Amino acid sequence: MAKHRIAWLPGDGIGMDVLNAAKIVLDALGFDAEYVPGDVGWELWCKEGNPLPDRTIEMLRKTDCCLFGAITSKPRDEAARELAPELRDKGFVYFSPIVRLRQLFNLHTNMRPCKAFKGNPLNLRDDIDIVVFRENTEGLYSGIEFHPVPADIMRLFAEHEPKARRFIDVPLQDIAVTVRLFTRNACRSIVTQAFEYAKKHNRPNVTVVEKPNVLRETGGLLVNEARKIARDYPGIELWETNIDAMCMWLVKNPQIYSVLCAGNMFGDIISDLSAQLVGGLGFASSANIGDDYALFEPTHGSAPKYVGMNKVNPMAALLSAKLMLEYLKEDEMAQVLENAVGRVIAEGKVRTYDMGGSASTTDVADEVARFCR
């Protein structure tokens, strides 16, 4: 029997290409695993009215963790139009499978390393080494949304919050509301993960990214919990920065930042920004970690432009596989894989189009694999 059981979800578009690349490299490392393929993505939505069928969820429950490619996601109305004719107007509603998986498996911590590999021509600077910790299940992405807003909800808002009164005469179908809900537990958890990581990896500071001067309740809760938790880590400085200023500082002085910590939406924004500082989506890996399950994925989407072309950069997927190896305590293999990625980037002989080269996805995987054997 194989040592590890891995749920294998390539999903849509280039997801297939980049997971094939990951498989080449994992095999070269001698990673001892059984890979269990599962259905997820756009085709499943169109054919079955559910992009994440129950059978896939059941399968995931029987595995150690999941390696995920990418999915295509579209706004609700557009999704409804692409349903198979016999499924239309039957009440099927599209939900993003990746957001659902994060909530279903309570994958509360999203970790996204953004490290400049030496010799990558796409680096903004060569001395950037940022790790983003993003709360993954709450905040503006918790899915509590209304349009039109139920009348009793508007009435309660106005009753409890005078600032809501100026909206009371707006027709309900002309108001959309998304709830930004933070729990103390989730705030404490994401900050603790960020500090624990900083402690383990000798990192000097943790920056909490919020906007508590405006988002006083949610932002205030996260920042206040961060201040309390920081007291338990005397060697590590807590920096507090507003999201808007953070976007500016990350472009101006990215090298001074080490560990960033944020709620769901601001974490989403700063992790894409940080990824671009070190080469863009082709290099951005991520781990979605919960108490008893984890899912690893490149942060890019399905890049429809490049479907079936074997052309995109697999580094993001390879680095996601590296995070998976760390989670499975295969630290030595993880290190070999990261070194191999670093070597291929530094040598610069085999590069995909985004790095100015003409190598294919598979060429890059083969070259990384060569240094993994």
Interface contacts to Mg ion, rule CB under 5 A: 268
How far is residue 34's CA from residue 6's CA, in Å, rounded to a whole number? 6
Contact 365, 21 (CB under 8 A): yes
User: Amino acid letter at 325?
Assistant: L
Closest distance between Mg ion and the C-beta of residue 61, in Å?
26
- Which residue among 303, 319, 324, 359 contacts ligand NAI (CB under 6 A)? 303
Interaction of residue 312 with ligand NAI, rule CB under 6 A: yes
Q: In this complex, which beta carbon is closest to ligand NAI, that of residue 72 or of residue 137?
A: 72
Closest distance between ligand NAI and the C-beta of residue 58, in Å?
21
How far is residue 65's CA from residue 297's CA, in Å, rounded to a whole number? 11
189 closest CA partner among 263, 242, 257: 263
Question: Considering only 154-162, 169-177, 258-266, 300-308, which stretch makes contact with ligand NAI by CB under 6 A?
Answer: 300-308
Q: In this complex, which beta carbon is closest to ligand NAI, that of residue 136 or of residue 207?
A: 136
Contact 177, 147 (CB under 8 A): yes
Q: Footprint of ligand NAI on residues 224-283 (CB under 6 A)?
A: 281-282
How far is residue 316's CA from residue 311's CA, in Å, rounded to a whole number? 13
How far is residue 201's CA from residue 55's CA, in Å, rounded to a whole number? 39
Interaction of residue 351 with ligand NAI, rule CB under 6 A: no
Interaction of residue 116 with ligand NAI, rule CB under 6 A: no
Interaction of residue 301 with ligand NAI, rule CB under 6 A: yes
Q: Residue 230 touches which of Mg ion, ligand NAI, none (CB < 5 to 8 A by kind)?
A: none
Closest distance between ligand NAI and the C-beta of residue 199, in Å?
29
Closest distance between Mg ion and the C-beta of residue 175, in Å?
27
- Which residue among 115, 300, 322, 351 contacts ligand NAI (CB under 6 A)? 300
Q: How far is CA 273 from CA 112, 244, 255, in A?
A: 11, 12, 14
- Measured in degrees and rounded to the nearest 5, phi and psi for residue 41 equal 125, -170
Q: In this complex, which beta carbon is closest to ligand NAI, that of residue 229 or of residue 315?
A: 315
Interaction of residue 302 with ligand NAI, rule CB under 6 A: yes
Q: In this complex, which beta carbon is closest to ligand NAI, that of residue 42 or of residue 239?
A: 42
Per-residue contact track with ligand NAI, 70 to 99, x per CB under 6 A? xxxxx-----------------------x-
Q: Residue 312 touches which of Mg ion, ligand NAI, none (CB < 5 to 8 A by kind)?
A: ligand NAI
Q: Residue 268 touches which of Mg ion, ligand NAI, none (CB < 5 to 8 A by kind)?
A: Mg ion
Question: Considering only 22-30, 164-172, 204-212, 303-311, which stretch makes contact with ligand NAI by CB under 6 A?
Answer: 303-311
Catalog residues that contact ligand NAI under the rule CB under 6 A.
70-74, 98, 281-282, 297, 300-305, 312-313, 316, 354
